[in-house]
Each structure stands twice: as structure tokens, then as C-alpha cells.
């Protein structure tokens, strides 16, 4: 595509900023529009330094602001939609999660059609597929399995509805008479430097003498490095721009994993952090079945109190299932259709993540030192 342009939503987020860094290397790309509700000053500065042959425009605006979306989509060739609230513990109100993740996607699709943007790539989630029970075993699953999450929890529900809306929009007639082509990518649990979930786990461990929790020891997962997920988005947009490849990709979803070893979430966190003195909690934990029923009772308490008080349980059944299931997926379809191969090896991804963890440990030491002075 000669002289094309790309809008990235959620561009200030963990994944969005990685996509921006790869996009600036694309050929014939005239403009990148980076949209998010707010950008950290240091990220704005970094983005300004990325400007070369490609114009990079930073837009601060709400995904639920129709006027903002209308302006952002004008004269755009490709939309990469990563913006969402990732909230498994339901810290945010259910309505907020559903609005941003589902309604925001619907509004963006409408703006896309009105502005005649021909390509729409959606960052979905592995949670669209499940897991629905910690007793269910899925190893090296694939797209033909047609798995579907049955939880009513707002995050998986909103991501499932959003993905369905995006894939259903494939083939829509645009305002200028053209056709909209869409696809969705379902990454595994994403890790890497700056991972919000990994940061939360490590911050908690630093408060507890570097002892990691043992909340996910029964799981078998295949986490994926953030750089590889960003790379899959670049390959998806290239494929949808290619007249030969595009017909087999339009309206499809793809699992995105890499060559990170399959292991439990607990072992994974330990592998990345043991060099810095972190260790797994040696204490025995309650049986998973008992914790599941405790979570159920806490959810009932939360529901009963909801008219007068918003009680947030420390864990819920959805989280227990997610963190203790055997649930892994192959990237063979993405390899076949998109030409996807991980850009970063496991060793590279591990090294980069470990170095970032080391920086967190150093920051923690400096904080403690300041407090004692």
C-alpha cells in the first residue's frame, strides 16, 4: 500500500507502545496515530524521538468519545485496536469494563465504517476461549477446537463480545463503497519488561521478603513475550494488505504464542526472578477444591452486600480457574496464514525480562535506603 496510515488504540499501554516501535520501521507508512486516554510524559518524549520518515501523532482521548474516534479515523488505512481494561479481580465496576472493552469496540467499528478504513485488527484474549474449569485439560489447542468462555465475569465476557463484533463486521460495506476486512489475535498471557501483572506479583513479593505466592502451581500455561505479540500484529496487517494472502485471513482469529516453555505460572515467575533472590512460598496451600468453594461463598457475600457496600473478594472462582488450569495453544495457524515466527527467542525474552526485574529490585533497594535515611 503506497502512502498508508495506521491508528493504534491503547498506544500508551504495555502492548500498544511495542506495536508503535515496530510500526515506525514499516515501508511507505506516512503516519501513525497513537490514541490513548493518557500518555506518560516520558513515553510522549520517546514517541517524539521515533519520528523519522513516518509522522507520529499522539492523540489523548477516550475510546467512548464518538467525536474523538471520528477524528482519529479520518484518512486512516489500518486500525490496530489494543485498548481495553484488563481486570480479572473486577477492581473496576462491571459497567466500566463492559463499556470500554465491548462498547468502545463497537463505537470504533462504526467510526471505521464511516471513515472508510478498510482494515481492522483486534487484540482479543485467550480468555475468549476459556478455561471454563480447572479440571478441563487443553494442551496445544487450536482454532478449529471452537472453544468458548462461559464465564459471566466482565473481562472475558466483554472480550468475547468485542471479538464477535469485530469478526462479524468483516465484509461490511464502507461509506465510500469499499469493503471492511477484519481479523482478531488471541495472545496467551503476555509477559516482558513493563508487564503490569508481573509487576504486581513482584511488588507483592518484595514486600514479603521476595517470597512469591503459590496461587498458580497446578497450571500449565504457555506465556508469550510482548515483543512477539506486537510482531504478530505487524504480520497481520501486512497479510491483510496482501491481495494474495488476505482472503484466507479475513474474518479469522488466531492464537498467538511463542517458544516460551510450557510451565505453571508459579514456576514461570520463579524462573524469571530467582536470580534476584526470589523464591516460591514453601508453605502448604489449601486444596484447590476448598479454595474454589471459599471463593464461591465470598462472591455470594459480595452480591448480598452490593446494595449497600461494594465488597471486593481477594480472589474469585474465575481467577482460581484461570491460574490453575492446563490450558496451552499452538501458533501453527498464525504461522501458516500470517507467516508468523517469533521475533524473539525464549532466551532473548527471558534475558530482557530478567534485566527489567533486576531494575525493579534496585529501585526497591533505593526506596528502602531513602526511607531509612
The residue assigned the cell 521475533 is 343
119-123: strand order across its sheet = 55-60, 29-36, 4-9, 78-81, 119-123, 181-187, 252-256
Q: What is the mean pLDDT of residues 211-240?
A: 95
Judged against a pLDDT cut of 60, whether residue 100 lies above it is answered with yes
Q: Rounded to whole angstroms, how far apart are CA atoms 311 and 273?
A: 33
Length of the chain equals 373
Q: What are phi and psi of 317, to 5 degrees?
A: -65, -40
Q: How confident is the model at residue 185 (pLDDT cuts 50, 70, 90)?
A: very high
The conformational region for residue 101 under phi > 0 = left, psi -120 to 50 = alpha, else beta, is alpha
Judged against a pLDDT cut of 70, whether residue 373 lies above it is answered with no
C-alpha cell at 266: 508459579
Q: Rounded to whole angstroms, how far apart are CA atoms 98 and 89?
A: 14
In the 8-state DSSP scheme, what is residue 172? P
**pLDDT tens across 248-266, in order?**
999 999 999 999 999 999 9
Please give the mean pLDDT across all residues of the chain: 94
Beta bridge partners of 56: 32
- For residue 1, the model assigns a pLDDT of 55
Q: What is the CA radius of gyration of the chain?
A: 21
Q: At what angle do helices 196-207 and 346-372 cross, to 10 degrees?
A: 40
CA dihedral of residues 31, 35, 39, 41 (deg, nearest 10):
20
Contact 48, 55 (CB under 8 A): no
Q: How confident is the model at residue 2 (pLDDT cuts 50, 70, 90)?
A: low
C-alpha cell at 75: 484518512
The residue assigned the cell 535515611 is 373
Q: Rounded to whole angstroms, how far apart are CA atoms 115 and 97?
A: 26
- For residue 244, the model assigns a pLDDT of 93
Q: Cis link prior to 131 (omega < 30° from 0)?
A: yes
Q: What is the mean pLDDT of residues 105-123?
A: 98
- For residue 51, the model assigns a pLDDT of 79
C-alpha cell at 276: 534476584
Q: How confident is the model at residue 90 (pLDDT cuts 50, 70, 90)?
A: confident
Residue spans of the domains in the chain: they are 4-195+221-261+328-344
Contact 19, 30 (CB under 8 A): no
Catalytic annotation on 155?
yes
The residue assigned the cell 514486600 is 207
Q: What is the mean pLDDT of residues 225-246?
A: 96
**pLDDT tens across 11-26, in order?**
999 999 999 999 999 9
Strand, helix or coil at 327? strand
What percentage of the chain exceeds 90 in pLDDT? 88
Q: What is the mean pLDDT of residues 136-150?
A: 95
From 148, 38, 131, 57, select the one nearest 88 (Cα to Cα).
Answer: 131
Give the list of residues 6+ apart from residue 277 with CB closer than 8 angstroms, or none. 210, 361
Determine which one of 155, 254, 255, 292 is catalytic: 155
**pLDDT tens across 315-366, in order?**
999 999 999 999 999 999 999 999 999 999 999 999 999 999 999 999 988 8
Strand, helix or coil at 254? strand
Q: What b/e sequence results for 184-196 when a residue is b if at least 16 CB atoms lie within 10 Å of its CB, and e otherwise?
A: bbbbbbbbbbebe
Judged against a pLDDT cut of 60, whether residue 45 lies above it is answered with yes
Architecture of the structural domain at 4-195+221-261+328-344: 3-Layer(aba) Sandwich (3.40)
pTM of the model: 0.95
C-alpha cell at 360: 525493579
Amino acid at each position: 500500500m503506497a502512502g498508508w496510515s495506521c491508528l493504534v488504540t491503547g498506544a500508551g499501554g504495555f502492548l500498544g507502545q511495542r506495536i508503535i516501535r515496530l510500526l515506525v520501521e514499516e515501508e511507505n507508512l506516512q503516519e501513525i496515530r497513537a490514541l490513548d486516554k493518557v500518555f506518560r510524559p516520558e513515553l510522549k518524549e520517546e514517541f517524539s524521538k521515533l519520528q523519522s520518515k513516518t509522522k507520529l501523532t499522539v492523540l489523548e482521548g477516550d475510546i467512548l468519545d464518538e467525536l474523538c474516534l471520528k477524528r482519529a479515523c479520518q484518512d486512516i488505512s489500518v486500525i490496530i485496536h489494543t485498548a481495553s481494561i484488563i481486570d480479572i479481580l473486577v477492581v473496576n465496576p462491571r459497567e466500566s469494563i463492559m463499556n470500554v472493552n465491548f462498547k468502545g469496540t463497537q463505537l470504533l467499528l462504526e467510526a471505521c465504517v464511516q471513515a472508510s478504513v478498510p482494515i481492522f485488527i483486534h487484540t482479543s484474549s485467550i480468555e475468549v476461549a476459556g478455561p471454563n474449569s480447572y479440571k478441563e485439560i487443553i494442551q496445544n489447542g487450536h482454532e478449529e477446537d471452537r472453544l468458548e468462555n462461559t464465564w459471566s465475569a466482565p473481562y472475558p465476557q466483554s472480550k468475547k463480545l468485542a471479538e464477535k463484533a469485530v469478526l462479524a463486521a468483516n465484509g461490511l460495506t464502507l461509506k465510500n463503497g469499499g469493503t471492511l476486512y477484519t481479523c482478531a489475535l488471541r495472545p496467551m498471557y503476555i509477559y516482558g519488561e513493563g508487564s503490569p501483572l508481573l509487576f504486581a506479583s513482584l511488588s507483592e513479593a518484595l514486600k514479603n521478603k521476595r517470597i512469591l505466592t503459590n496461587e498458580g502451581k497446578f497450571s500449565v500455561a504457555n506465556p508469550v513475550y510482548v515483543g512477539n505479540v506486537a510482531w504478530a500484529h505487524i504480520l497481520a496487517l501486512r497479510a491483510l494488505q496482501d491481495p494474495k494472502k488476505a482472503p484466507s485471513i479475513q474474518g479469522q482469529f488466531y492464537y498467538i504464542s511463542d517458544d516460551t516453555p510450557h510451565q505453571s505460572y508459579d514456576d514461570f515467575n520463579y524462573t524469571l526472578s530467582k536470580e534476584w533472590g526470589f523464591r516460591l512460598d514453601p508453605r502448604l496451600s489449601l486444596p484447590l477444591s476448598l479454595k474454589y468453594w471459599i471463593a464461591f461463598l465470598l462472591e455470594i457475600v459480595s452480591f448480598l452486600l452490593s446494595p449497600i457496600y461494594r465488597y471486593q473478594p481477594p480472589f474469585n472462582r474465575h481467577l482460581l480457574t484461570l491460574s490453575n488450569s492446563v490450558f496451552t495453544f499452538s501458533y501453527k495457524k498464525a504461522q501458516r496464514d500470517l507467516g508468523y515466527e517469533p521475533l524473539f527467542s525464549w532466551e532473548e525474552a527471558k534475558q530482557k525480562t530478567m534485566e527489567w526485574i533486576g531494575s525493579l529490585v534496585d529501585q526497591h533497594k533505593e526506596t528502602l535506603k531513602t526511607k531509612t535515611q
